[in-house]
Amino acid sequence: MIVKDQGIVLRTVPLTNTSQIVTWLTADGGKLATAAKGSQRPDSPFLGQYDLFYTCELLYYARAPRHLHLLKECTPLAPRPALRRDWRACAAASYAASLFDRILPEGPADPALYRLLDDTLDALADRTPGPAFLPRFELRLLRTLGLAPDWTRCARCRAPLLLPGGPGSGPAAFLDARGGRLLCPGCAAGGEGRGELLPLGASTLAILAAITGGRSIPPALPAAVYRELRQAVGLWLERHADVAPRARNAALEILEAPEPA
Ligand SMILES: [Zn+2]
């Protein structure tokens, strides 16, 4: 059966000396892998038609689910050349594509995930990302996967965490890293946390709740808020999406490096 779909290239690996396996996140078919036979020959019709971070229209011969499909035709819809010139944007795009590749099993996926990655790559091709770009993207991904926490209530006693006028002094909540839940100061002090407790200020909680709720946030965040945001989302990804921190830290360090003069 021949299938027509739109897809974003997540990864390419050699299949033979002259052929590649291309892993896609597609609009209709979810995550799938196709063989691009002869794509590395100098006269291949596939030359320049797909590459990392491209959104393409593709035609492929579908084989049994979770088998290697056969790529027949491919036309770039959005090649995003800026991602090949801007190394910060390239680092963020690499991390975003690899995160989708790691988190999603092959097979059908919520089309909202395809739209999220397409929008994320468009935004990165449009302008150089600041450091807060990645935690914001990760929270949107967690929300789309249904894995984002409720940042407004204690997971144990359900007490609201964002009170008008703020919590006074001290953290507004604690992220229980091992238990993978958010606790109010009372429950955290009562020994409910099962491991390391990450304190979160009221401003950070408000930012986390705003991003998760799909609301916009200020482009520049205070350093302390950014640090807590980075740590909280990293812990949540590790605990709930089984994402190892190494690739994430590498991408974040590139975005946090000072702008060259
Ligand atoms: Zn509580």
DSSP-derived secondary structure for 72-134: EEEEEEE--GGGGT-HHHHHHHHHHHHHHHHHSPSB---HHHHHHHHHHHHHHHHSPPPTTHH
Distance 190 CA to ligand 1 centre (A): 9
Distance 179 CA to ligand 1 centre (A): 14
Average predicted confidence (pLDDT) for the chain? 92
Quote the distance between the C-alpha of residue 104 and its chain's center. Answer: 11
Contact 34, 69 (CB under 8 A): yes
Domain boundaries, the chain: 2-129, 130-261
Distance 160 CA to ligand 1 centre (A): 8
Distance 156 CA to ligand 1 centre (A): 5
> Which pLDDT band holds residue 113 (cuts at 50, 70, 90)?
very high
pLDDT (average), residues 101-115:
95
Distance 187 CA to ligand 1 centre (A): 4
What's the confidence (pLDDT) of residue 46?
96
User: What tens digit of pLDDT does each residue of 44-74 get?
Assistant: 999 999 999 999 999 999 998 778 999 999 9
Distance 63 CA to ligand 1 centre (A): 51
User: What tens digit of pLDDT does each residue of 128-142 get?
Assistant: 999 899 999 999 999
Distance 147 CA to ligand 1 centre (A): 20
pLDDT (average), residues 87-111:
95
Q: Does domain 130-261 have CATH number 1.20.1440?
A: yes
Q: What is the assigned CATH class of domain 2-129?
A: mainly beta
Distance CA 6, CA 25 (A): 8
Give the global pTM: 0.91
